[in-house]
């Protein structure tokens, strides 16, 4: 069982918007603004989409945005495109002993 909880799957049609939630605890998601999101396509290197809850790395489309409220973080994708179909994982820094990073179980995004 993963430390952070994500929906197993979400879907949307091209042009629509979707949101993926990521629920943790007051020791990780709720404690720090160190939530990040990753896109995984089979056989390819994972790609950082969002870091520090809301920041986008250079080269990532502004169709991707992140937010957080309490112990739940969210990734929103607007204007869905076929190439957005992938697995998405959230992650958070967790200041425990030992110090570590935790991931969600992943969400399969299907663009219908």
Partner 1 sequence: EVQLVESGGGLVQPGGSLRLSCAASGFNFTPYSMNWVRQAPGKGLEWVAYIGIGSSTIYYADSVKGRFTISRDDARNSLHLQMNSLRDEDTAVYFCARDRAWAFDVWGQGTMVTVSS
User: Which residues of the chain form contacts with partner 1 (CB under 8 A)?
Assistant: 2, 32, 34, 36, 38, 43-48, 51-52, 55, 57, 89, 91, 93, 98-106
Kindly state the smallest distance separating residue 98's Cβ from partner 1, in Å: 5
Place of tokens 């430390």: 3
Q: 59 CB contacts (<8 Å, ≥6 apart)?
A: none
Fill in the DSSP letter of residue 33: S
Strands (E), the chain: 9-12, 18-23, 35-40, 47-50, 64-69, 72-77, 86-94, 100-103, 107-111
Looking at the Cβ atoms of 15 and 57, the one nearer to partner 1 is 57
Looking at the Cβ atoms of 30 and 105, the one nearer to partner 1 is 105
Kindly state the smallest distance separating residue 14's Cβ from partner 1, in Å: 27
Kindly state the smallest distance separating residue 40's Cβ from partner 1, in Å: 8
């Amino acid at each position: 069982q993963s430390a952070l909880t994500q929906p197993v799957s979400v879907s949307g049609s091209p042009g629509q918007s979707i949101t993926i939630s990521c629920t943790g605890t007051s020791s990780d998601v709720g404690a720090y603004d160190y939530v990040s999101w990753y896109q995984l396509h089979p056989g390819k290197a994972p790609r950082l989409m969002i870091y520090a809850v809301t920041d986008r790395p250079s080269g990532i489309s502004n169709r991707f945005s992140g937010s957080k409220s309490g112990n739940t973080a969210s990734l929103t994708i607007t204007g869905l495109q076929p190439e957005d179909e992938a697995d998405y994982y959230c992650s958070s820094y967790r200041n425990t002993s030992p110090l570590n990073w935790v991931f969600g179980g992943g969400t399969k995004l299907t663009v219908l």
